[in-house]
Amino acid sequence: MTQIRTARFPHPEPLHDKLVLLPVFLPFAGCPGRCVFCDQHAQTGTASMDLEQALRELGERLSLMPGPYGLGFFGGTFTGLDPDWQDRFLKIAGSFRDAGALVHLRVSTRPDRIDPSTLARLRESGVSMVELGVQTFDSQVLERSGRGYDGALAARACEMVRQAGLELGIQLLPGLPGHEPGQWREDVRQTLALKPDVVRIYPCVVMAGTGLADMHARGEYEPWPLETAVTESGWALLRFWEAGVRVIRLGLAGEQGMLSRLVAGPWHPAFGNMARSLAFVYFLEERLRGAQGRVKRIFLPRRFSGELWGHGRANVQALARLGIVKERVEFWSEQDIALEMEE
Ligand code: SF4
């Protein structure tokens, strides 16, 4: 006699309250130099950097924002700015925090531009999170990319943020010169060990006018193919989800002007969707490994209907191997996944 067993479980992605995060881009502000891969003007869509103007605009923008919202300073090395400038930006933000509308404040910086007293000052000024542009913990790759610090310093910087009582964000850049998938997976393990609150993954692309573009033109650098970047990001995403770590960005946003400066590399407008849907296939594979019987039906929250089959239906074959075909899939309004197996 046929037996039906049903298992219910949540999607592996950690749930979180959605908060509007207003990004303020200060391209290259405070940076000690130009990193080989970095083209902040194209990536942020922000052309010029006049701190006085940025400060004025910040006050104007915040006065128009309905609360609650978060604010983040990105695109440069916030703690590399003159402390007076840091204070001026944080003071403006602080006045909106005191008024109750601004409920989260974060800054992005480099691992070698923080120390305990800087972090204490940020915390006293109301900063809740520091995002560190770690890129990789592999010292050789960091050296080849001219980052100016090694993996041990990057790890210590992450610990320092935690010890200062601040939330930690880690930005990773898989595919830098000399960075192979094996090193990337080690980066993911090391990142998990540091227990960040959020992670951003930006697979390395070649932008015009950067040092990497010169290396690429000389035949000294080849970015990861798109397929590798999607596979490795999907693998990492599932590891982060399982650990309860939110991945808040996958791939560069296609900002105005960015595409015209993109020379080579694994950029795709649906990159996030591709990696997320693949991570979910990996999740189902792990869930069904060694399971008794075959899939009779699977019920999925409706919000995943655009992701299950993958971009261009890339996941259809992998799902079919698990017994998940169109006729056995239903999208429903529940939040859990339900899997009916028949033996
Ligand atoms: S990667 Fe970071 S530190 Fe390097 S130039 Fe870009 S913003 Fe500055």
Per-residue pLDDT reduced to its tens digit, 248-288:
999 998 877 888 999 999 999 999 999 999 999 999 999 99
CA nearest ligand 1 atom 5, residue: 34
- Bridge partners (DSSP) of residue 4 are 342
Upper half-sphere CA count for residue 217 (Cβ side, 13 Å) = 9
| Pairwise CA distance, residues 153 & 151, whole Å | 5
Quote the DSSP letter at residue 331: E
79 lines ligand 1 (CB under 6 A): no
Please give the pLDDT value at position 45: 63
| Structure confidence at residue 47 (pLDDT) | 58
The pLDDT value recorded for residue 42 is: 66
Taking Cα atoms as reference points, which of 177, 97, 192 lies closest to residue 145? Answer: 177
Asked if 192 contacts 243 with a C-beta cutoff of 8 angstroms, the reply is: yes
Task: Report the atom number in ligand 1 closest to the C-alpha of 33.
Answer: 5
Q: Which residues of the chain have pLDDT under 50?
A: none
Ligand 1 in contact with 31 (CB < 6 A)? yes
Looking at the domain that runs over 21-269, which CATH code has it been given?
3.20.20.70
Residue 318 confidence (pLDDT)? 97
187 C-alpha to ligand 1 centroid (Å): 19
User: Distance between CA atoms of 259 and 267, rounded to whole angstroms?
Assistant: 9
* Residues 195-211 pLDDT 10s: 999 999 999 999 999 99
Supply angle C-alpha 87, 252, 64, rounded to 5.
45
Ligand 1 neighbour 173 (Cβ under 6 A): no
46 lines ligand 1 (CB under 6 A): no
Compute the distance between CA of residue 33 and CA of residue 65 in angstroms, rounded to an integer.
33
- Give the pLDDT of residue 176: 98
Amino acid 187: pLDDT: 98
* CA of residue 91 to ligand 1 center, whole Å: 24
- The full set of domain ranges for the chain reads 21-269, 290-342
CB of 41 within 6 A of ligand 1: the answer is no
pLDDT of 81: 96
CA of 143 from ligand 1 middle (Å) equals 15
Distance CA 1, CA 13 (A): 37
pTM of the predicted model, to two decimals?
0.95
Spatial separation of the C-alpha atoms in residues 17 and 226, rounded to whole Å: 31
**Which pLDDT does position 46 carry in this prediction?**
64
Strand bridging mode 336-342 / 4-10: antiparallel
Contact 230, 278 (CB under 8 A): yes
Give the three-state DSSP class for 258.
Answer: helix
CB of 116 within 8 A of CB of 163? yes
